[in-house]
Homo-oligomer: A and B are copies of this chain.
Amino acid sequence: MPDYRAPLTDMAFVNKELLGMDHYQQLDGCEPLTEDLWDAIVDGGAKFAENVLAPLNRNGDEQGCDFDNGQVSTPEGFAEAFRQYGEAGWQSLSIPTDEGGQGLPGSMSTLLTEMTAAANYAWSMYPGLAHAPITCIRAGGTEAQKATYLPKLYSLEWAGTMCLTESHCGSDVGLLRTKANPNGDGSYTITGTKIFISGGEQDITENIIHAVLARVEGAPEGTSGISLFLVPKVMVNDDGSLGERNAVHCGSIEHKMGIKGSATCVMNFDGATGFLLGEENRGLEVMFKIMNTARLGTALQGVCLGEAAFQGALAYARERLQMRALSGVQNPDGPADPIIAHPDVRRMLMTQKALIEGSRAFIHWLSRLNDLTQYGSEEQAAEADDLMSLLTPIAKAFCTETGVEVTNLGVQVFGGHGYIREHGMEQLLRDMRIATIYEGTTGIQSLDLLGRKVMGSGGKLLRNFTKRVHKFCEAQAGNSAISEFIEPLAAVNAQWGEITMQVGEKAMENADEIGAASVDYTLFGGYVALAYMWAQMAEIALQQDGDFYTAKLATARFYFQRILPRAEAHARAAVAGAGSVMDLEESLLHL
Which one of B255, B426, B434, B569 contacts A422 once the chains associate, using CB atoms below 8 Å? Answer: B255
A443: which B residues are within 8 A, CB to CB?
342, 344-345, 348, 412
Identify the stretch in A21-29, A268-276, A512-520 within 8 Å (CB) of chain B at 4 or more residues.
Answer: A512-520
Which stretch from A84-92, A144-152, A169-177, A372-380 is at the chain B interface? A169-177
Q: Is the CB of B590 within 8 A of A515?
A: no
Q: Is A255 in contact with B327, judged by CB distance below 8 angstroms?
A: no
Contact present for A175 and B550 (CB under 8 Å): no
Q: Would you call A254 an interface residue if the criterion is a C-beta within 8 Å of the partner chain's C-beta atoms? A: yes
Are A510 and B327 touching (Cβ within 8 A)?
yes
CA A511 to CA B516, docked complex, whole Å:
43
Q: Which of B349, B422, B547, B580 contacts A558 (CB 8 A)?
A: B580
Within 8 A of B (CB), among A328-371: 328, 335-336, 340-350, 353
Q: Which residues of B contact A516 (CB under 8 A)?
A: 343-344, 346-347
Inter-chain contacts of A436 with B (CB < 8 A): 412
A347 x B581 contact (CB < 8 A):
yes
Select which of B169, B412, B416 is within 8 A of A442 by beta carbon. Answer: B412
- Selecting from A126-134, A230-238, A310-318, the interface stretch reads A310-318
Q: Which residue of B is nearest A436, CB measured?
A: B412
Specify which of B415, B434, B580 is in contact with A419 (CB 8 Å cutoff).
Answer: B434
CB pair B426 A257 closer than 8 Å:
yes
Inter-chain contacts of A301 with B (CB < 8 A):
none
Closest-CB distance, A510 to chain B (whole angstroms): 7
A18 to chain B, nearest CB (A): 15
Interface residues on A, range: 35 or more
Known contacts being A172-B336, A346-B581, is A419 close to B437, with CB within 8 Å? yes
Given known pairs A314-B589, A512-B343, A569-B568, the reply for A322 and B170 (CB within 8 Å) is yes
Of the candidates B172, B408, B573, B588, the one whose C-beta lies within 8 Å of that of A562 is B573
Contact across chains for B327 and A430 when beta carbons are under 8 A apart: no
Knowing A322-B170, A426-B257, A519-B344 touch, does A580 contact B557 (C-beta < 8 A)? yes
Chain B contacts of A170 at CB under 8 A?
322, 415-417
Question: How near does chain B come to A88, taking the closest CB pair, in angstroms?
Answer: 28
- Contact of A321 with B by CB under 8 A: yes
Q: Is the CB of B335 within 8 A of A582?
A: no
B165 touches A591 (CB 8 A): no
Residues in B with CB closer than 8 Å to A10 are: 591
- Does A9 sit at the interface, judged by CB under 8 A? yes
Most chain B CB inside 10 Å of its own CB: which residue of A408, A426, A565: A565
Interchain CB contact (< 8 A) of A584 among B336, B512, B555, B585: B555
Q: Of residues 455 to 471 in A, which have CB atoms within 8 Å of B's CB atoms?
A: none
A323 CA / B584 CA spacing, docked (Å): 21
Tell me if A501 counts as interface (CB < 8 A to partner B). no
| A51 beta carbon closer than 8 Å to chain B | no
Q: Does A16 sit at the interface, judged by CB under 8 A?
A: no
Residues of the B chain whose Cβ atoms lie less than 8 Å from the Cβ of A430: 257, 430
Q: Is A490 an interface residue (CB 8 A)?
A: no
Q: Which residues of B contact A573 (CB under 8 A)?
A: 561-563, 565
* A446 CA / B347 CA spacing, docked (Å): 13
- At the interface, yes or no: A452 with Cβ under 8 Å from chain B? no
What 1/0 flags go to A196-230 for Cβ under 8 Å of B? 10000000000000000000000000000000000
Q: Which A549-577 residues have C-beta < 8 A from chain B?
A: 550-551, 554-555, 557-558, 560-563, 565-569, 572-573, 576-577
Pick the contact of A335: B175, B254, B325 (CB < 8 A): B175
Interface: A404 (CB within 8 A): yes
Chain A 122-167 interface residues, beta-carbon cutoff 8 Å to B? 165
B580 touches A569 (CB 8 A): no
When the two chains form their complex, are residues B562 and A314 in contact, meaning their CB atoms are under 8 A apart? no
Residues on B with C-beta less than 8 A from A547 are 588, 591
Q: A554 and B314 in contact (CB under 8 A), knowing A344-B443, A512-B326, A591-B547?
A: no
- In the assembled complex, the CB of A321 is this many whole angstroms from the nearest CB of chain B, namely 7
Q: How far is the CA of A565 from the CA of B575 in the complex (A)?
A: 11
Known: A196-B416, A429-B433, A437-B419. A590 touches B171 (CB 8 A): no
Among residues of B, the one whose C-beta sits closest to the C-beta of A510 is B327
User: Contact at A584–B434, with CB atoms within 8 Å?
Assistant: no
Is B412 a contact of A311 with CB atoms below 8 Å?
no
A411 within 8 A of B: yes
Query: Is there contact, CB below 8 Å, between A568 and B562?
Result: no
Tell me whether A68 is interfacial, beta carbon within 8 Å. no
**Are B171 and A323 in contact, CB atoms less than 8 angstroms apart?**
yes
Q: From residue A557, how far is it (CB to closest CB) to chain B in Å?
A: 5
Q: How far is the CB of A271 from chain B (nearest CB, A)?
A: 24
Picked from B343, B433, B514, the residue with its CB within 8 Å of the CB of A515 is B343
Interface presence of A384 (CB below 8 A)? no
Residue of B nearest to A516 (CB): B343
23 A-B pairs with CB atoms under 8 Å apart are: A9-B591, A171-B322, A172-B323, A175-B336, A325-B512, A327-B510, A342-B443, A343-B513, A343-B514, A343-B516, A344-B443, A344-B447, A344-B516, A344-B519, A350-B584, A412-B442, A426-B433, A557-B583, A558-B584, A562-B573, A562-B580, A562-B581, A566-B569
Extra contacts besides A342-B515, A343-B515, A419-B434 (5): CB < 8 Å: A172-B323, A258-B419, A318-B586, A558-B580, A561-B580
9 closest Cβ contacts across the A-B interface?
A343-B515, A565-B572, A554-B584, A257-B426, A343-B516, A172-B322, A344-B443, A326-B511, A558-B580
